[in-house]
Amino acid sequence: MLWDWGYALEILPVLAKAAIVTIEATFLGFLIAASLGLVFAIMRMSGPLVAGPVTLLVELVRSTPLLIQIFFLYFVLPKFGVTLDAFTAGVLALGLHYATYCSEVYRAGLENIPRGQWEASTALNLSSFTTFKDIILPQAIPPIVPALGNYLVALFKETPLLSAIAVLELMQTAKILGSETFRYVEPITLVGVIFLIMSLVSAVGIRWVERALNRRTAR
């Protein structure tokens, strides 16, 4: 028999546990991506002394495979005295990688704010911090939520790469189960289905956030 329901049910709790690791990696990674991305975007808007190096870093990260970056953080950094456990290294790599994509999205959002908004802020003597926090970001973020949401889902779907450094997320767990029993059909299929369900759920979630933001901002 190709599909063994008994075995599938037996491994489901193990995979569910691994799914939690996947979700944790996704959210922590995206938290880093979203905040670091904003920092990159703002730094790229300031003087060339700051913008230059940041642009270089962003291009470097964007132009190299995520898997290499994961390996770099996990296997190469210890040579420089920085030892990270697999989960931390993986999450940092995911976060950094997607931060560079997010920074492009933020940049587009920030550039879309009319100059008049900055000028009115200057005329009212708002500090740069207040201008960003109260005037620019609340206008820049809502339109880019869909794009950021896409990267959340993309990041989520890249988490199996963490299996390469033996983080016990879904994919790694499925591989271990498979190698123990020589049955790969059930674990791998279930992992696929779990990813599918979670992707669909998050897509709905993102659309909900989008609508909520539009209700607040569009009139």
Partner 1 sequence: MNSSDATPMVRFENVTKRYGSLTVIDGLDLSIGRGEKVAMIGPSGSGKTTVLRMLMTLERIDGGVIWVDGERLTHVERNGRLVPADTNHLRRVRGKIGMVFQHFNLFPHMTALKNCMEAPVTVLGMKKREAEERAAELLAMVGLADKKDHFPSQLSGGQQQRVAIARACAMRPKVMLFDEVTSALDPELVGEVLNVIRKLGAEHDLTMLMVTHQMGFAKEFADRISFFHRGKIEEDGKPADIFGNPKNERTRQFLHAVLDAG
Stretch that binds partner 1, among 16-24, 135-143, 151-159, 164-172 (CB under 8 A): 135-143
**146: closest CA among 211, 66, 61?**
211
How many angstroms separate the first and last alpha carbons of the chain?
59
As measured in angstroms, the least distance from the Cβ of 109 to partner 1 is: 14
Query: Under the criterion CB under 8 A, does residue 134 sit at the interface with partner 1?
Result: yes
Query: Under the criterion CB under 8 A, does residue 202 sit at the interface with partner 1?
Result: no
Query: Under the criterion CB under 8 A, does residue 59 sit at the interface with partner 1?
Result: no
Site for partner 1 in 137-156 (CB under 8 A): 138-139
Give whichever of 120 and 200 is closer to partner 1, judged by the CB atom.
Answer: 120
Give whichever of 126 and 164 is closer to partner 1, judged by the CB atom.
Answer: 126
Q: Which residue in this structure is represented by tokens 């028999």?
A: 1
Binding partner 1 (rule: CB under 8 A), the pick from 14, 51, 77, 135 is 135
**Residue 97 identity (one-letter amino acid):** H
**153: closest CA among 111, 209, 88?**
209
Q: Which residue in this structure is represented by tokens 């790599």?
A: 93
**Residue 2 identity (one-letter amino acid):** L
Query: Under the criterion CB under 8 A, does residue 49 sit at the interface with partner 1?
Result: no
Site for partner 1 in 102-131 (CB under 8 A): 114, 116-117, 119-120, 122-127, 130
Q: Which class for 29: exposed (0-12), middle (13-18), buried (19 or more C-beta within 10 A)?
A: buried
Query: Under the criterion CB under 8 A, does residue 64 sit at the interface with partner 1?
Result: no
- C-alpha triplet 17, 71, 78: angle, nearest 5°: 100
Binding site for partner 1 (CB under 8 A): 114, 116-117, 119-120, 122-127, 130, 134-135, 138-139, 216-217, 219
